[in-house]
Structure 1
Amino acid sequence: MSRSRFTRRLFPLLTAGVVGTGIYAVDNWTDAKLIQRNCRTAYNGMAVAIDYKLNFQPTADRDIRPIEELHKRTANRLFDVFEKNGGLYIKMGQVIGTQAAILPLPYQERARRLFDSAPAVPFEAVERVFKEDFGCLPESVFDEFDKTPLASASIAQVHKARLKNGDIVAVKIQKPAIQKQINTDLFCYRVLAQVYEYMFDLPITWSTDYVEDHLRMEADFECEARNAMKAWKHIQDEPRLRGKVYIPKTYPELSSKRVLVCEWIDGVQLTDTASIAERHLDFNWAMKTAIMAFSSQIFKTGFVHGDPHPGNVLVRSHPDNPKHTQVVLIDHGLYIQESEKFRIEYCRMWEALFMLDIKTMQEICSSWGIHDANMFASLTLQKPFSPEKALHIQQSVDMRDVYDMQMNAKERIKHFLKDQSLFPREIIFVSRNMNIMRANNRQVGSPVNRINIMARWAVIGLNTSTSKGSWLQTVRLSWKSFLFESTLLLMTVTFWMVRFRDAVGRVVFGNKLNGFEDVLDKKMTEQLERQFGIKIDSSVFDG
């Protein structure tokens, strides 16, 4: 080959290399890094799809190891993309995590590791956001501004500051790249959902529109300020919570879509029992009050906080009476508003679960496009449900092999969500709220009977919507109320028996503390595997 011919062939390759390097350098210099993130998503998405297409099949000798290894490497690949891309990918991974029970066990394990934290951006980026949104630097607005963030999450970081009038405030500042990334990130989320729906042959895309709308709202801090004010009004309107629960004041005049200024709260996380004890506060009361607050949202107001992890539920001394405890709810970016129809039906569902009113359960599930009322009941209560008894206790039965078990699980789930158009989208974030609160309670030994508290609020929410009728209707309601209270009493007796057993075991034998939530988790795990063919890691949603 002549030298000139070799040069002609080499020149296009060198040109492509130089152009590619230049594009990478420019993209790497920007905050958004759109090209790198999208290429990473596309490459790994295709790799996972091809891997499953080629390798998800039973082996001749029924060896389960190849399928387990397949799930493990694809889960690692997928969640590595979420963690490396950061930003809204963290949020999207968390949404997938809330539905991880329908995915293989390695996906559940990786979802548990996807924490809502990320490196902070430098203070120069904070100044740039202020300059773009307010036309000035932070020192023009605040008398003092701590340049070191106190916390950094997926889409924002928080700084402590002092206003010129002396108020101490928390300043939540969105990372500059988020608004540039949001459209492409959500587009990739849609594509990934479609790929995995095809790959797993499972109903996944039915929720993408609803999830996308709420992720966009979460990235709008003016919306978060409105959510906080609306949630505060509901607390003030509820005598059972007024004074016990507090939501920090917001400063709308100092806020924008990317900057939120709100009252600084000196509190400790709900699950930090040591710090709560040091402050001589009542931890059990705080946990009960927190569960009451979120139950009132789910069953009475229909305006539900979508992310009540321990960092968003603080405990402090009551400012008007330091000897009393007060619960403070923060971070109001992710809220949903239930339809009144769903709220009432969900209250009726919970009442029917405790009354063992199978006919009502099946009617509601059918109207929601759910074809397995018992499975939905178990997932709703987060404990095993059987039409014959409140706590279904049986040992797990091993299935023949992993492939058969997962194929059976897939068919059950496809049947469960056969009519996706009817399924209430509100359940996505209502279930997330309940899962996180369950994990909060479980993490500290289950000091509170969460299920009973939620059931009582379901009846409160139902009574709020029920007008008084004839004397005969009043008698029927009284009889239903008696049966309902009897069921709650049995649950309460079981709850305290478990606590007594654990206390004796801890004192006499030095056993590790296992609370009521642990008992329910164990039974739930057994039933899902035995009855529905779903193998689940019970700690997926732990805080």
Structure 2
Amino acid sequence: MSDDPSIPSGRLKRLTRIAGMATQVGASLATDRVKRLLGRESDGHAVMAQRVLETLGSLKGAALKAGQALTLFSSQLPPEARVIIGKLFSQAPRLPFAEIATVIQEELGAPPSEIFAEFSEEPFAAASLGQVHEARLRTGERVAVKVQYPGIAAALEDDLRNLESLLKSVGMGGLLLDAHEYAEEIRRELSGELDYRRELAQLEHYRGLLAPWPDLVVPKAWPELSTGRVLTLERLEGPTLNELAHDVDSLPEEVRFRRGEQLLRAVCGPWMLHRTIHADTHPGNYLALPDGRLGVLDFGSVKTGSEPFWRCTLVCARALMEGSSLDWVTIHEQGGFHIGISKDKAQKLLEEISRIAVTPLQEPYDYATDTIIEKLSELKLRYPLDLIRIRPPAESLMVGRAMAGLLQNLRALKVRGDFRPFFRNTLNTALAGPR
């Protein structure tokens, strides 16, 4: 894939690129359907996936981050399309090395050749806000150097303004989510990811939260070689969960379960015990290390929730574990959910949601056949006017993003097993005292 010489800037230009992509994808899928109806072979999905990769990869910023989120829900695409779209996690079009070297010199005071014993000009990962290069320190350690794209802050701001306009346009007079409240939450979290000093602090904090589980690894950091736009970390090596999923049927069931259980602890453990969650749970952020440990990467999006909302999630999880339904009082009065329908209607909806959400917590569960997200989507079709009047607090966005990603990762890895002991023990510990 050729180098991308620049990141397109300007709200209209970036929005036009996305609109053009959507038109081409729609035409590709329509052609694909016609060919299939005529009994002909078609590469429509692969063409569509390639177009998505090229467009979102070149735009980077929030546009690419949104594309990465959508790839979590690509399980219905054919394998060749999933492989192409999966590249959004680490193989988006790269910027020329000269631009990256300029950022390093501006941030660290010297070119890469003077700071590092070796520095690869080819990135081994390229994502939404920066790309990652392998290097070797003069003391011998192999490191991964994440360098922020020049101009990405302006591009991200353009994307966020487009997003806010979109949310306002679908606000339906306040019946949907509070556009301003949600847009501000997204703006706050994504803008915070531009500050690599903040990410470094969150990495060290999360390392402490994962300390009880030595098989969960957070890479060592070099603060003296890290700034607001450059982050130098230990180079962990191993296939990502996304790569494991491409050949998942070759993995023994016990290996898939162990990786799934590690992922569950990495995401849910810090949230349940410390109100803090790694919100960017796409499969490119987890490495299956050769010694059996799980590497956890990318701490730009780490969210600490409020005590009332956190406790609400635990109380709801315990109710589901015990076979009870979610209740209106917990959701509304304790969790900060705004409920604009009658208590009876709300309780009926919560009971239906409970019947769907409880399935993994009742018996050993096969995530390969999981349909929780699909069934919850069906509820939106059955109760559209009621559900849009139930508004969760803005802080739930990042927690929901993390849990949706976790669920999709378990499904992609075809994990089968019983996670109830973990939930039961962790809930008992968490609810035993204040946090």
Taking structure 2 as the reference length, the TM-score comes to: 0.72
Deviations 1:364-405 (A, max 9, x none): 1222224535645766886467xxx999xxxxxxxxxxxxxx
* Pair 1:174-2:148 in alignment: yes
How much has 1:175 moved relative to structure 2?
Answer: 1.1
- Aligned equivalents of 1:194, 1:442: Cα separation in 2: 34
Q: Pick closer, same or farther for the CA change 1:199–1:124 going to 2, 3 Å.
A: farther
Q: Is the 8 A contact 1:87 1:178 kept in 2?
A: yes
How much has 1:317 moved relative to structure 2?
Answer: 4.2
Aligned position for 1:285: 258
How much has 1:80 moved relative to structure 2?
Answer: 9.6
Aligned position for 1:433: 402
Q: For 1:32-47, list aligned pairs within 5 A.
A: 32-35=7-10, 37-41=11-15
* Pair 1:210-2:185 in alignment: yes
How much has 1:151 moved relative to structure 2?
Answer: 1.2
* Pair 1:339-2:314 in alignment: no
How much has 1:39 moved relative to structure 2?
Answer: 3.8
Q: For 1:236-315, list aligned pairs within 5 A.
A: 236=211, 238=212, 241=213, 243-270=214-241, 272=244, 282-315=255-288
Q: Is the 8 A contact 1:276 1:315 kept in 2?
A: no
Q: Pick closer, same or farther for the CA change 1:149–1:373 going to 2, 3 Å.
A: farther
Q: Is the 8 A contact 1:248 1:262 kept in 2?
A: yes
How much has 1:91 moved relative to structure 2?
Answer: 1.9
Q: Pick closer, same or farther for the CA change 1:408–1:442 going to 2, 3 Å.
A: closer
Q: Pick closer, same or farther for the CA change 1:225–1:452 going to 2, 3 Å.
A: same
- Aligned equivalents of 2:379, 2:430: Cα separation in 1: 37
Note the residue ranges of structure 1 that are not aligned, 5 or more in a row.
Answer: 1-28, 49-76, 101-108, 319-324, 392-405, 467-543
SS at match of 2:402: helix
* Pair 1:361-2:331 in alignment: no
Amino acid at match of 1:228: L
Aligned position for 1:348: 315
How much has 1:255 moved relative to structure 2?
Answer: 0.7
- Aligned equivalents of 1:269, 1:316: Cα separation in 2: 9
How much has 1:431 moved relative to structure 2?
Answer: 1.9
How much has 1:427 moved relative to structure 2?
Answer: 2.1
Q: Is the 8 A contact 2:240 2:286 kept in 1?
A: yes
* Pair 1:459-2:432 in alignment: no
- Aligned equivalents of 2:207, 2:410: Cα separation in 1: 24
SS at match of 1:219: coil
Q: For 1:62-73, list aligned pairs within 5 A.
A: none
SS at match of 2:210: helix
How much has 1:84 moved relative to structure 2?
Answer: 5.9
Q: Is the 8 A contact 2:248 2:413 kept in 1?
A: no
- Aligned equivalents of 1:333, 1:455: Cα separation in 2: 30
Q: Is the 8 A contact 1:131 1:137 kept in 2?
A: yes
How much has 1:164 moved relative to structure 2?
Answer: 0.9
Q: Pick closer, same or farther for the CA change 1:419–1:270 going to 2, 3 Å.
A: closer
* Pair 1:85-2:51 in alignment: no
- Aligned equivalents of 1:327, 1:257: Cα separation in 2: 27
SS at match of 1:139: helix
Amino acid at match of 1:214: E
How much has 1:93 moved relative to structure 2?
Answer: 4.8
Amino acid at match of 1:362: W
Aligned position for 2:95: 121
Amino acid at match of 1:366: H
Deviations 1:318-368 (A, max 9, x none): 4xxxxxx2121111111111112211121011111232444x622112222
SS at match of 2:293: strand
* Pair 1:329-2:300 in alignment: no
Aligned position for 2:117: 143
- Aligned equivalents of 1:128, 1:80: Cα separation in 2: 25
Q: Pick closer, same or farther for the CA change 1:390–1:171 going to 2, 3 Å.
A: closer
Q: Is the 8 A contact 1:300 1:457 kept in 2?
A: yes
SS at match of 1:194: helix
Q: Is the 8 A contact 1:378 1:384 kept in 2?
A: no
Q: Is the 8 A contact 1:196 1:204 kept in 2?
A: no
Note the residue ranges of structure 2 that are not aligned, 5 or more in a row.
Answer: 23-50, 75-80, 365-376
Aligned position for 1:152: 126
- Aligned equivalents of 2:384, 2:313: Cα separation in 1: 21
Q: Pick closer, same or farther for the CA change 1:257–1:232 going to 2, 3 Å.
A: same
Q: Is the 8 A contact 1:354 1:390 kept in 2?
A: no
Deviations 1:267-306 (A, max 9, x none): 2223627699899x95532321221221112211111111
- Aligned equivalents of 2:64, 2:140: Cα separation in 1: 36
- Aligned equivalents of 1:450, 1:309: Cα separation in 2: 20
Q: Pick closer, same or farther for the CA change 1:30–1:381 going to 2, 3 Å.
A: farther
Q: CA RMSD in A?
A: 4.2
Give the share of equivalent positions with the same residue, in percent: 22
- Aligned equivalents of 1:430, 1:449: Cα separation in 2: 22
Q: Pick closer, same or farther for the CA change 1:438–1:249 going to 2, 3 Å.
A: same
Q: Which structure's CA Rg is the greater one?
A: 1
Aligned position for 1:446: 415
Aligned position for 2:106: 132
* Pair 1:412-2:383 in alignment: yes
Q: For 1:193-232, list aligned pairs within 5 A.
A: 193-198=167-172, 202-203=176-177, 205=179, 206-232=181-207
SS at match of 1:314: strand
Q: Is the 8 A contact 1:276 1:283 kept in 2?
A: no
Aligned position for 2:373: none
Amino acid at match of 2:314: C
Question: Greater CA deviation, 191-200 or 257-266?
Answer: 191-200
How much has 1:158 moved relative to structure 2?
Answer: 0.8
Taking structure 1 as the reference length, the TM-score comes to: 0.59
Q: Pick closer, same or farther for the CA change 1:43–1:256 going to 2, 3 Å.
A: closer
- Aligned equivalents of 2:317, 2:399: Cα separation in 1: 13
- Aligned equivalents of 2:67, 2:283: Cα separation in 1: 19
